[in-house]
Amino acid sequence: MISVFPELPGWRFVTSEVELGLYEVFGADGAGRRVASRANAPKLVMAECRRAAVCICLPEPADGRGVLAARAVSSGLGSDPIRG
């Protein structure tokens, strides 16, 4: 199944059940950026890929910490903003 989301223009996500009860999502955009995740819950896998794609698309912070580090600190997620 192919999914697109308005907050991620140009991105396409493909969900597939790779084994019984194991789902995989691959996402990519026209610039060649890619994300992927695999888990036993299809909604969780898609949510992880969407969050990763949003982080990739964010502009770099002025302090040079990097997008993921800055988002982790500002959101209170800790060191892994994708998994929480």
pLDDT per residue as tens digits for the range 34-81: 999 999 999 999 999 999 999 888 876 666 665 554 444 444 444 443
Does 35 reside within a domain? yes
Residue 1 burial (C-beta neighbours within 10 Å; 0-12, 13-18, 19+) = exposed
- Which residues form the domain of 28? 2-75
Cα torsion 21, 26, 27, 32 to 10°: value is 180
Does 28 reside within a domain? yes
Per-residue model confidence (pLDDT) at position 14: 95
Per-residue model confidence (pLDDT) at position 66: 55
Per-residue model confidence (pLDDT) at position 78: 41
pLDDT surpasses 50 at 3: yes
pLDDT surpasses 90 at 4: yes
Tokens 């955009």 correspond to 29
Per-residue model confidence (pLDDT) at position 79: 41
Does 81 reside within a domain? no
Tally of domains in the chain? 1
